[in-house]
Structures are given as C-alpha cells and as structure tokens.
C-alpha cells in the first residue's frame, strides 16, 4: 500500500473520540491554580527515535521494536525544574510525511522543541531544515528554545559530532548527543529545554 494510503488507514483506526481528545486535551483547572504548564514538541525524521526519547525520559525504559507514531502521541508529566513544579505536556509528532495534515495542527503555542535526527542516518540530518520550515510555517514561534538531539550515538555514525554541533550552533540552538537506548544525555536535554522555556 502507498505510504499516504497506509497512513490514512492507520488514522482511521484511531477513533474520532481519540483524535478529538488529542486535539482538545483537558482544559487547565479553573482559576486559583497557578501551575505552570509547558508544551514540549518532539519533531524530526521518522525512525529517528523521538518516541523512544520521550519514553526513556518519562518511563525510564527503552523499547527496541519500532512502533510508528500514528499522527501524534500525547502525554503529561509533572516535573520539578530547579524547585518549580511544572506540568509538561508532551506532544510527540510522527515523522512520516503522510501525517503532515495531522501534525500541522499541533505546532502553535509550543514552549520548547526537541529537533531529533539519527546520527547513524545522514538523511535524517539533512532533513532538519525541512522540519524547521514546516514547524515555523504552521505556527511554531522562531523565538522558542530548540534543542537538537543527535540520537542513536550508540550506533555507527554517519554524522560526526562536530558537524551536528556546528549545525545547531550556527542557528543558535542547543545541541545534545543522545541515546534513548543507553539513556545518555536524555534527562539533560529535557532539563535544558524546560529551563530555557521557563526563562523566556
């Protein structure tokens, strides 16, 4: 089946109620609740490891089987950022081009973004510009903190650390060498994103 048709079929399997829940997450509690909320996005090529990075951070585990994200996945977690309790909403977007129509609804009101590529797959690095263009086009503000993750550093590399670092530095973004498999730098990249989002 063609990729777009396959994506449509998978989306169909997601019930309308499910998609509505994703589009309209529970509203913030009524007045008096001073909880700070952050919206964190993970974007980048399909198979680069976005969902595994979020899972490693939120659940402390790694899943080696590839389970493609169907459109978008959502999760929420209270996080202590330097003594401030913050409720983080994680929006993990599919990297497949077939899901653009689902993704484009989720770029607005983003507090911070993890822009992920697979350091063992050169194409995923070369796609980074395209990801930024898509995100800005659909409402992600250029002023938000962006942390670049060179993921899968436990595998043989196709993109060197210096090349990845330079790409991020030239655009004023933070850069982390991560492995969702080993856990390397996973908490560090999220902490950096949360801190920078809170400082804005």
Residue with Cβ nearer ligand GTP (86 or 192):
192
Chain residues 77-116 in contact with ligand GTP, contact rule CB under 6 A: 94-96
154 binds ligand GTP (CB under 6 A): yes
Could you say which of ligand GTP, Mg ion, none residue 151 binds, taking C-beta under 5 to 8 angstroms by partner kind?
ligand GTP
Could you say which of Mg ion, ligand GTP, none residue 16 binds, taking C-beta under 5 to 8 angstroms by partner kind?
none
**Contact with ligand GTP (CB under 6 A) among 40, 41, 50, 145:** 50
Buried b (16+ CB within 10 A) or exposed e, 3-30: eeeebeebbeeeeeeebeebeeeeeeee
Residue with Cβ nearer Mg ion (46 or 159):
46
Give the angle subtended at the CA of 109 by the CAs of 9 and 82, to the nearest 5°. Answer: 115
- Distance between CA atoms of residues 64 and 10, nearest Å: 21
151 binds Mg ion (CB under 5 A): no
Binding mask 54-73 for ligand GTP (x = CB under 6 A): ---------xx-xxxx----
- Distance between CA atoms of residues 193 and 195, nearest Å: 6
- Distance between CA atoms of residues 196 and 180, nearest Å: 22
**Contact with Mg ion (CB under 5 A) among 69, 113, 124, 178:** 69
Nearest to 112 by CA among 198, 49, 52: 198
Residue with Cβ nearer Mg ion (19 or 198):
19
Contact 67, 18 (CB under 8 A): no
Map tokens 């309308």 to a residue. Answer: 16
Q: In what order do the strands lie in the sheet with 36-44?
A: 72-81, 84-93, 36-44, 112-118, 146-151, 174-177
Binding mask 158-187 for ligand GTP (x = CB under 6 A): ---------------------xxx------
124 binds Mg ion (CB under 5 A): no
Residue with Cβ nearer ligand GTP (111 or 181):
181
User: Which residues of this chain interact with ligand GTP, rule CB under 6 A?
Assistant: 46-52, 63-64, 66-69, 94-96, 151-152, 154-155, 179-181
User: Which residues of this chain interact with Mg ion, rule CB under 5 A?
Assistant: 50-51, 69
């Amino acid at each position: 089946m063609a990729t777009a048709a396959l994506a449509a079929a998978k989306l169909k399997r997601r019930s309308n109620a499910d998609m509505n829940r994703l589009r309209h997450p529970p509203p913030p509690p009524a007045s008096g609740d001073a909880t700070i909320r952050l919206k964190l996005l993970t974007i980048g090529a399909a198979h680069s490891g976005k969902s595994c990075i979020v899972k490693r951070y939120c659940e402390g585990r790694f899943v080696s089987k590839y389970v493609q994200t169907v459109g978008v996945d959502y999760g929420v977690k209270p996080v202590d950022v330097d003594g401030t309790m913050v409720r983080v909403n994680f929006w993990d977007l599919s990297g497949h081009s077939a899901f653009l129509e689902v993704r484009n609804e989720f770029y607005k009101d983003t507090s911070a973004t993890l822009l992920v590529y697979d350091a063992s797959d050169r194409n995923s690095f070369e796609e980074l510009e395209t990801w930024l263009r898509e995100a800005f086009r659909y409402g992600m503000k250029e002023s938000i903190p962006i942390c670049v993750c060179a993921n899968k550093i436990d595998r043989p590399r196709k993109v060197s650390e210096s090349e990845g670092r330079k790409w991020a530095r030239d655009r004023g973004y933070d850069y982390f060498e991560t492995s969702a498999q080993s856990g390397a730098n996973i908490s560090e990249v999220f902490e950096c994103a949360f801190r920078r989002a809170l400082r804005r």
